Chains A and B, each alone.
Chain A
Amino acid sequence: GAGVSQSPSNKVTEKGKDVELRCDPISGHTALYWYRQSLGQGLEFLIYFQGNSAPDKSGLPSDRFSAERTGGSVSTLTIQRTQQEDSAVYLCASSSKGWEQFFGPGTRLTVL
């Protein structure tokens, strides 16, 4: 595709349920990032994948959060046992040489 795509665009779930968020990066981009934007807050880095290297998970807020990237392309962010404080917009970005990052439209997660 022409840009980074994310699905779903909106997700409403009940507290305690697991959710999966998907990101399709720009074709050929080797780096993929997940960020979180909470209401009234800035963007918070979550996790970064670069090629076949071990991911940088330093931004994940708890062990309920995990992410994988299959085949160096599509990535899935999983949140287990969701809490109300997990409500936010989850943004994915990808980049290639030069490290200019291109963002997807985001997934708005609401935990009731």
Chain B
Amino acid sequence: KQEVTQIPAALSVPEGENLVLNCSFTDSAIYNLQWFRQDPGKGLTSLLLIQSSQREQTSGRLNASLDKSSGRSTLYIAASQPGDSATYLCAVIGASGTYKYIFGTGTRLKVLA
């Protein structure tokens, strides 16, 4: 059974710092991995999608990497801003069966001005 873990559970950093959020999964047979952010009381906003054949994806100040063999993904946020404060979730889709996501429990990020 696939399990997804995110470390740390919470993180508080000063503005301008570069930071790394971690996501690990127990079954390396995944179809893709997606990173989301969730603002309080809101739905999920898609940040980056990495297909299983890819190693990384970049969008603006965000870079996500995927190491399938070790069951890990990292989300790198450069030059963090207070507007980056949110909960960050990673989710994986297994390579077999239906295309439903298994979510991690998230990292709650606070960027201090």
Contact = CB atoms under 8 A, between A and B. Distances in A.
Interface of A: 4, 31, 33, 35, 41-43, 45, 48, 50, 56, 58-59, 91, 93, 95, 98-106, 108
B43 A43 contact: no
Interface residues of B, number: 24
A48 B43 contact: no
Contacts of B106: 42
B98 A50 contact: yes
Nearest to B6: A42
Given A105-B42, A106-B43, A43 B89 contact: yes
Nearest to B98: A56
Contacts of B104: 42
A48 to B, nearest CB: 5
Interface in B28-78: 31-32, 34, 36, 41-46, 49, 51
B100 A48 contact: yes
